[in-house]
Amino acid sequence: MSSNPKLVAIEARRQILIEAAAAQRVALAQDIQPWRAPLALADQGLRVLRIVRQHPQWLIGAVAVYAVFRPRNIGRWLQRGWVGWQLAQRLR
């Protein structure tokens, strides 16, 4: 610390601001907690859209397979595909 009164006041103000910022970070983290899961889902959806945009042939292929086989348990197939997709992403 310095003996200069202005510098002492600045250092005190700085410390107050640092403590206030830390308290605000904690409050913000608590406030956004309920939004984590919906935002993560939206993020996954955006990731899928980017991939489909980069590789539209996959979407066309999926529609063609569906049109040919018309599986009755499409929900089960989609769930398995999604789990496989997530596993492949983790392995990357």
> Domain residues of the chain, as ranges?
1-54, 57-92
**Helical packing angle, 36-54 and 56-69, nearest 10°:** 90
| pTM, full prediction | 0.46
The total number of residues written for the chain in this structure: 92
pLDDT above 90 coverage of the chain, percent: 47
pLDDT (tens digit per residue) in 40-67: 999 999 998 898 888 888 888 888 877 7
pLDDT, average across residues 73-89: 81
What gap in Å lies between CA 55 and CA 74, rounded to an integer? Answer: 22
What gap in Å lies between CA 8 and CA 17, rounded to an integer? Answer: 14
DSSP reduced 3-state for 81: helix
Residue 2 confidence (pLDDT): 59
Cβ atoms 48, 41 nearer than 8 A: no
What gap in Å lies between CA 40 and CA 50, rounded to an integer? Answer: 15
